[in-house]
Chains A and B, each alone.
Chain A
Amino acid sequence: MDFVSYAWVIPALPLAAMILIFFGTRPLEMLARRRASGETAGAGHSAGHDHDASATDAHASPAVSAQGEDTHGASHSGGHSENGGATPFWAMAGSVIGVVAMVLAFFVAVGVLVEFLTTKDNNLIQHGQYIFLFDWFRFGNLDYTIAFRVDQLTAVMLVVVTGVSMLVHLYSIGYMEGDPGYSRFFIELALFTVAMLILVLGANFLVLFIGWELVGLSSYLLVGFWFDAAPEPPGSDLDLPYPPAAALKAFLTTRLGDFGFMIGILILFFSTGTFDFGALNSAATYTHVNQVALTAAMILVFCGAVGKSAQFPLHVWLPDAMAGPTPVSALIHAATMVAAGVYLVARLFPLYHFAAGPQSLEVVGYVGGFTALFAATIALVQNDIKKVLAYSTISQLGYMFVGLAVGPNNALGIFHLFTHAFFKALLFLGSGAVIHALGTQDMRKMGGLARYIPITAATFLVATLSISGFPFFAGFFSKDPIIGQAFDYGTTHGGNYTLYGLTIVTAFLTAFYMFRAYFLTFGGRYGQIAGFWGAERAYRGEAHPHPPSWVMWLPLVILAFPAALAGYWSSFANFLTKGATPAVNISDYINSAFSDKLTLIGIVVALAGIALAWLMYGVQALPAKVFTGNPIGKGIHALLMHKYYMDDLYRLIIKYVVLGLAHLTVLFDRYIIDGIVNGSGMAVRGLGAATRRTESGNTQGYGAAIFGGALIILLLLFFAVGVLKL
């Protein structure tokens, strides 16, 4: 079957679901809630309130209860009493529509990928296929087209986006149960998915930018989903972000990068006259462009990626984006928002690699490498399970950029994006299950949970092994080639092994902090199997953990398979580069895995990280005090706890520099600009009043004016041509 031609169905399905929920079930749901509230008005929070709902999240619980008592009081519990469940029937129907749409979209996406894998059509392999073309408008030689195209890179992204989104949709049915904004959540989730699909399907900058901004918008909506949440309860030191503020932060920080992105696009457009990726990436176009301008443009475009993919120094929004519901975090971190930046660089890879000066990719590589290490060090000391995962995402995204910078093609970076999507989604959904079970995200109040929620623990362990680069798990196959290639890159670049150093150290730290999180949550001292499995004695919290429902553990189990096995797609690089011989192919890599010293070093580093974590947190043979007991260690610990004071630095900059400038500008505006404006305004009004006098209302006067005007024009004509000389 010709799946590629039907690829337009993929974004159309979630879009249809969104519209259907918005106009179909949401009004009915609101009606149902109102009717119910009319019947049970004044009932307030009652026994009908499901236990699940009150224990959703550290945020969710205050949010839900605050709403339950203040704003939606009667309606919330009323929904329970009437429908016998936490969520009204119509809201549930809406979420089912969302899941069904995503399942269908996923199958089409898989079909598209399979078709690309099996096709013999050389044209399709080389150029992909347009699935939608609409001449938006055209004027002169400027052409603005809305075009969607599928090629290998897009096909991979389609599977990742729809796959993760499908599981997140399913998972959310359980996770969001009882939330007053249930339908709204699914509408925004669908919007998020559509936006990302538009982004990866876009065949030119115009469409990509629309998707890019839509992603920004929907992430704003979803991060701030609990916009009426109560502030963090006193006594907590988790530094939980306030959802509306976090949403704003995410939006504004990425906007900072978008500024450069837009300028970059414009430079590219003005120097080539086209937005189309195919044209931009072809040598015929870019060889005519000034290389300095091109290099600057590519670095500016990368600024956009820095913002969206949360690279240093614009990474600050991502940890705060944890304020959104956990399924959203999974979606943002695994498949959508942050993948956009990596995708962008990969999409323009020929421009970066062949056209622009080497500086552009160097910038990409060093920003990525530095961010990888930087974020990994912060992740070492976090107590909030979601924060650990957030910083690990930033760190892994850094790997992807290093992969793009050092690789001979974009396969290394994208392959890591591909495997990372699965294990990171799994990690987040797993952490969501933990939070759902306990009502807290503080790892100090966990421990030994594998005893209570074994499925979650087992799948989480798979993902942890994968991200740590443990041999034969997916992360190993995608991460180690990047490290190896970074070494080769150092060899060919005059022995500058900085990137290799950054990545290998990060690999050690990754293994350490991920296992630290695992031991603190699921295993730990007094645990079974030397701390690798849980036990009741190891549990440090008070709340009684309860296992997730099937809609929540099923996605975990499904995700565990690609999280472990995605690395065995051995011809990925071949596939992505359309058969051009890549220098690093995963199949070769597996063959030489243990004959190569570099790989052995990688494995040893990962195992060392795991071992250290085990010593410190698994059996607690090596207490953390060993490191933090001395003043230097204490200082470093404080530095890391405060995330290198980056947030405080930005706060100071905003407070004194930005706002100071703003005050200056206000003065300038008030006294100088306003003076000019008011002056000219007065002048204009005076002129207007003067010209108004010509409108006397006197018909004879008007007639005379016409005659006079005609005379003037005739004289003008005659003088202009010099006819009077005749």
Chain B
Amino acid sequence: MLNTPFTYMPTGADWLRILPELIVFGAALLVLLADLFIPNGRKGWLAMVCLLGVIAALIGVGYLLSNGDSQTAFYGMISDDTLALFSDLLILFAVGIGLLYSPGYIERHAVTRIGEYYGLMLLAALGMMLMASATNLMLIFVGLEALSLSLYILCAIELTRFRSQEAGMKYFILSSFASAILLYGMAMLYGSTGTTSLSGVQAFFAPGRHPFLATSGYGPLLLAAMGLLGVGFCFKVSAIPFQAWTPDVYVGAPTSVTAFMSVGTKVAAFVALSRVFLLALGAQSDKWEPVFWIVAILTMLGGNLMAVVQRDVKRLLAYSSIANAGYMLVAIATNTQHAFSGLLIFLATYTVMNVGAFGIVLALERNDGQGTTLDDFAGLAKRRPGVAAAMAIILFALAGVPPSAGFVGKYYVFQAAIVGNHIDLAVIGILTSVLGMYYYLRVIWAMYFTEPRNVSGGAGAIAATTGMAGEDEGEPEPADAASGASVAPVRAGTATLARPVTSRRSANSRTVVATQAPAESAAPPLTLGTTVALTLAVVLTVALGLIPGPIVMLAEQAARLLGQ
């Protein structure tokens, strides 16, 4: 076959099968083009164009869900099966919410390349959709690179904010590293099986296909391929021990981007991971299952443990996203169709909750990127009851309190683990969820049961926390500040109040101090887009918990791929 000249003529049906991707791509081009003609100060229209594109793509997904043929297109490169459409749905939802957050964020922060910002948001989403829909190793890699390259730039798009620059650079270096490892793994898999097509790989391991190999073993090449692929994917989903980049990048990136990428990347990477391991390498599961078993346990334990000591809520959410990756890996390690649908349900609920949580952070963040520590959340219920209530609902959901989306996700994953004979994983998952309770509920406690402390972070705090180096603040030790790589420019308008002695009894006197904080450092009121996005996230968080039926049905339909 390799000797014959390759010809393939795409048909109209092929194009129809990638309808959502086409729409997003078209919208991205349109935005880049329109950016030339829209004057500065009116760039908000670009967000509108993007949103319309996303909505059109969602309609496309809906069309394919009801009328699609679940076939592969372009010579087996990409598929419009329910799994792909399910992931498209989540990614489009995430990018839609991210776009709703964006105008408000851009207005307040030093984002100058607005056209590029919006274009790259859509291109990143396109990359994620391609990665999740790909049925060929090559396209998985192309999708991965498309999303990564877009995200590198998006992370670093705040030109004057040091942390944003650092996040972009760090993400670029480490992610390239991981991409190389992944690509190396793909090459080795190709070397072992002679094909890059996932169905080809699957067929290669079909019983009776290669009786000689089956008895003598497939040799180190295949093992190396699986190992390297696993490492690459684990990096992308930020599983321990490949998680180190996650907190720095999530905290440094613009919050609207973080909200989108923290869930979009996970969806794309987990779906691609499932396609490669659960589906293509399903016959070799005895070899890779133990690896994911260990990684899942490490990730659940480590992610939750590290989250416990965080005092910055944005950073806490970054660690919580690591912990949640651990729960999702439980489903991978369980490796049943049941668990796979559990994973998809978990992804859906996690998407809804996490975009909401980062949205709250965005709403409270001040222009200098500060204002998200537990101290800033203290007494929030009195100052901004609506925001506090939304945050409380989302945090309860993240903690897995029924009847919320978070409970539904965890219920399905752990139930599948128990049914799939992985009670060990379920027990560790439930126990670490208890740890999760601690740090999620602590934020609620701060919002509802403590008096407001000084709302301003203060220059001292900034100095202590500016270095990207392990600045899990809380104890602003001088040593930490000194070890920081650099010191951020302290903004002129920032209050320079000394950090008061932490004693709850003197809370009243402190509120007086707090009111003297300069107005400009306080978080501004919500924009319309942010309000709509937050409302959507909260409503869906509650709705998915109360009526999980439809999403469960869709996920089970998507997971049926494994049964084939």
Contacts and interface: CB of A to CB of B under 8 A. Distances in A.
Interface residues of A, number: 40
A209 to B, nearest CB: 14
A717 B242 CA distance: 17
B308 A684 contact: yes
Interface centre among A134, A684, A713, A723 (most CB of B within 10 A): A713
B97 interface: no
A233 interface: no
A464 to B, nearest CB: 48
Contact of B228 (A137, A710, A718): A710
A136 B547 CA distance: 6
Interface residues on B, range: 35 or more
A697 B248 contact: yes
Interface in B166-213: 169-170, 173-174, 177-178, 181
A699 interface: yes
A625 B68 CA distance: 90
B532 interface: no
Contacts of B219: 723, 726
Interface in B430-465: 435, 438
Interface stretch (B25-33, B59-67, B148-156, B287-295): B287-295
B290 A716 contact: yes
A401 B220 CA distance: 74
Contact of B470 (A135, A685, A695, A723): A695
A710 B308 CA distance: 27
Interface of A: 134-140, 681, 684-685, 687-689, 691-699, 701-703, 705-706, 708-710, 712-714, 716-718, 720-721, 723, 726
Q: Report the 10 A-B pairs with minimum CB-CB distance, sorted nearest first.
A: A697-B469, A688-B309, A709-B241, A702-B244, A714-B227, A710-B231, A137-B549, A688-B308, A137-B548, A697-B468
B291 A716 contact: yes
B324 to A, nearest CB: 17
Given A139-B415, A139-B556, 12 more contacts: A139-B338, A684-B308, A688-B308, A692-B306, A695-B470, A697-B469, A697-B470, A698-B469, A702-B170, A702-B244, A703-B174, A706-B242
A714 B290 contact: no
A134 B547 CA distance: 10
Interface string B334-347: 00001001000000
A685 B305 CA distance: 7
B535 to A, nearest CB: 19
Contacts of A696: 469-470
A696 B173 CA distance: 16
Given A696-B470, A697-B467, A713 B308 contact: no
A691 B305 contact: yes
B177 A703 contact: yes
Interface of B: 169-170, 173-174, 177-178, 181, 217, 219-220, 223-224, 226-228, 230-231, 234-235, 241-242, 244-245, 247-248, 287-288, 290-291, 294-295, 302, 305-309, 338, 341, 408, 412, 415-416, 419, 435, 438, 467-472, 484-485, 547-549, 552-553, 556
A701 to B, nearest CB: 8
B228 A692 contact: no
B223 A688 contact: no
Contacts of A697: 248, 467-471, 484-485
A705 B302 contact: no
A721 B217 contact: yes
Given A139-B415, A718-B220, A726-B220, A694 B549 contact: no
Contact of B338 (A140, A699, A720): A140
A717 B291 contact: yes
Contacts of A695: 244, 247-248, 306, 470, 472
A437 B490 CA distance: 78
Given A139-B415, A140-B338, A688-B308, A693 B470 contact: yes
Nearest to A720: B290
B217 A710 contact: no
A689 B307 CA distance: 10
Contact of A688 (B288, B306, B552): B306
B470 A721 contact: no
Contacts of A692: 306, 309, 470, 472
A716 B294 contact: yes
Nearest to B337: A140
A717 B174 contact: no
B220 A140 contact: no
Nearest to A144: B549
A721 B223 contact: yes
A137 to B, nearest CB: 4
A699 B227 contact: no
Contacts of B416: 140
A721 B287 contact: yes
B445 to A, nearest CB: 14
B217 A705 contact: no
Interface centre among A689, A694, A706 (most CB of B within 10 A): A706
A337 B469 CA distance: 63
Given A137-B549, A139-B412, A714-B228, A705 B244 contact: yes
